[in-house]
A and B are shown apart, each in its own frame.
Chain A
Amino acid sequence: MSASVDDIPEAGGQGRGGPASKRVVVGYGFWIFLLSDIIMFATLFASYAVLAGATAGGPRSQDLFRPGSVALETAFLLASSFVCGMATLAVERRNQRWTQAALLLTGLLGAGFLTLEIREFASLVERGAGPSRSAFLSAFFTLVGCHGLHVTAGLLWLGTMMAQFLAKGFRQNIRHRYLCFSLFWHTLDIIWVAIFNLVYLVGTTPYV
Chain B
Amino acid sequence: MSEQQYHAAGDGDAPAEPPLFGQQGGLAAGVLNYVYGLALAALLTVASFWAAHTSLIYGPSVPVAIAVFAVAQMGIHLVFFLHITTAPDNTNNVLALAFGMLIAGLVVFGSLWIMQHLNQNLMPPSPQALP
Partner of A98, one of B1, B8, B91: B1
Could you mark each residue 65-89 of chain A with 1 if its beta carbon is under 8 Å from any beta carbon of chain B, else 0?
Answer: 0010001001000110110011011
Q: Tell me which of A5, A172, A179 contacts B21 (CB under 8 A).
A: A179
Binds B, one of A7-15, A108-116, A143-151, A153-161: A7-15
Majority secondary structure, B binding face: helix
Q: Could you say which residues of chain A place their CB within 8 Å of the CB of B89?
A: 10-13, 20, 24
* B 84-106 to A, binary, CB cutoff 8 A, 1 in contact else 0: 00011111110011011001110
Contact among B5, B74, B100 with A194 in the assembled complex (CB-CB below 8 Å): B74
Separation of A23 and B20 alpha carbons in the complex (Å): 7
Please count the residue pairs between chain A and chain B whose beta carbons lie under 8 angstroms apart in the complex: 191
User: A39 with B14: in contact, given A13-B91, A50-B112, A92-B6 (CB under 8 Å)?
Assistant: no
Partner of A45, one of B18, B53, B108: B108
Q: In chain B between 6 and 51, which residues have their CB closer than 8 angstroms to a CB of chain A?
A: 6-22, 24, 27, 30-31, 33-34, 37-38, 41-42, 45, 48-49, 51
* A119 within 8 Å of B (CB atoms): no
- Which A residues are CB-close (under 8 A) to B17? 5, 21, 23, 172, 175
A189/B111 contact (C-beta < 8 A), A8-B18, A90-B1, A93-B2 known: no
Nearest chain B CB to A178 CB, angstrom units: 7
B95 CB, nearest partner CB in chain A, Å: 10
Contact status B104-A42, CB under 8 Å:
yes
Question: In the complex, are the beta carbons of B15 and A1 less than 8 A apart?
Answer: yes
Q: Report the Cα distance A48→B19, complex, angstroms.
A: 39
The A-contacting residues of B in range 91-131, CB under 8 angstroms, are: 91-93, 96-97, 99-100, 103-105, 107-108, 110-112, 115
Distance (whole angstroms) from the CB of B112 to the closest CB of chain A: 6
Of listed B59, B62, B82, B88, residue having the most chain A CB within 10 A: B82
> Is there an interface contact between A78 and B6, defined as CB atoms closer than 8 Å?
no
Given A12-B91, A207-B60, does the pair A187, B70 have CB atoms closer than 8 Å? no
Q: List the 9 closest A-B pairs by CB distance, nearest first.
A: A35-B100, A197-B70, A42-B104, A12-B89, A46-B111, A85-B34, A172-B13, A12-B88, A186-B81
